[in-house]
């Protein structure tokens, strides 16, 4: 290995972090942001179907399709040298049939993803995951609040508060591990339940709104950077206020143009 070469994060590296090191993951949807995030040394970059919300302006993740997600996947993968690149499989890209799911997962790998993420733990989904893993496609599972099933849950609520839901989530987590998932996203579930699932599983858990006891954490990058002041759920910590910073920069540019202060002669040819 060359002295200045970058050590690529692989699925096996993520698995080895279980009970040893916290896993750091964020979403990205374009080349520039992916490059910035990758340069910080985070472990996983997820091309989330949350692009439907933060990039395309939809109210849910349901409208985004495979073609659109493939564009984001290709862009992000070009900007990443180190992190593990995981692509969300959007609604109806894997629910129609086993064959359709395998085909679409393969398309994401062709565009640069190194793993795919699939929501749920139904029997059909478990069969798909087993098939993908047997074909050499790494799969990240996702349980708890699964945004593609938002209408079923009746909103973006915490899942797993009652005994029935808790039992179902624990059983689903075990089955996803048995099916071959290399990691599991836990979204909007009570911290005690997330802690219990994390202890039970041999694969790492990655939380979003699931408390501090998961093996890692993920956030939507737009939320972390404060790019939408109207969206501030309890589980998000804002590390910047880019909405204000970007707005002020554009206002200054507008003012300079209107007053004839931009461009100057030094900024001209």
**Which residue spans within the chain are E strands per DSSP?**
23-27, 44-47, 84-88, 115-119, 139-144, 183-187, 205-208, 216-219
Q: Are 140 and 169 in contact (CB under 8 A)?
A: no
Q: Are 56 and 77 in contact (CB under 8 A)?
A: no
How does DSSP classify residue 149?
A: G
User: Any residues with CB less than 8 A from the CB of 14 and at least 6 apart, and which?
Assistant: 23, 43, 44, 84, 182, 183, 204
- Please list the active-site residues: 187
Cis peptide bond upstream of 263, omega within 30: yes
């Amino acid at each position: 290995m060359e002295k200045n070469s970058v050590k690529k994060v692989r699925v096996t590296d993520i698995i080895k972090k279980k009970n040893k090191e916290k896993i750091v993951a964020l979403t990205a949807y374009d080349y520039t942001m992916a490059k910035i995030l990758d340069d910080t040394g985070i472990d996983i970059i997820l091309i989330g179907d949350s692009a439907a919300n933060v990039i395309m302006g939809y109210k849910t993740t349901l409208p985004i399709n495979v073609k659109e997600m493939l564009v984001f996947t290709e862009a992000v993968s070009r900007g990443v040298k180190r992190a593990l690149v995981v692509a969300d499989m959007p609604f109806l890209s894997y629910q129609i049939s086993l064959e359709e799911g395998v085909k679409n997962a393969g398309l994401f790998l062709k565009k640069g993803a190194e793993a795919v993420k699939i929501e749920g733990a139904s029997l059909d989904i478990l069969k798909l995951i087993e098939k993908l893993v047997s074909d050499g496609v790494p799969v990240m599972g996702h349980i708890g609040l699964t945004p593609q099933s938002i209408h079923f849950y009746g909103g973006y609520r915490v899942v797993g508060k009652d005994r029935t839901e808790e039992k179902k989530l624990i059983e689903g987590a075990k089955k996803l591990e048995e099916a071959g998932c290399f990691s599991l996203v836990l979204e909007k579930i009570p911290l005690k339940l997330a802690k219990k699932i994390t202890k039970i599983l041999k694969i790492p858990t990655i939380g979003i709104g699931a408390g501090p006891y998961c093996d890692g954490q993920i956030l939507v990058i737009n939320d972390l950077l404060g790019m939408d002041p109207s969206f501030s759920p309890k589980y998000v910590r804002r590390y910047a206020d880019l909405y204000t910073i970007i707005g002020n920069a554009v206002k200054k540019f507008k003012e300079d143009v209107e007053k004839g202060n931009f461009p100057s002669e030094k900024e001209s040819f």
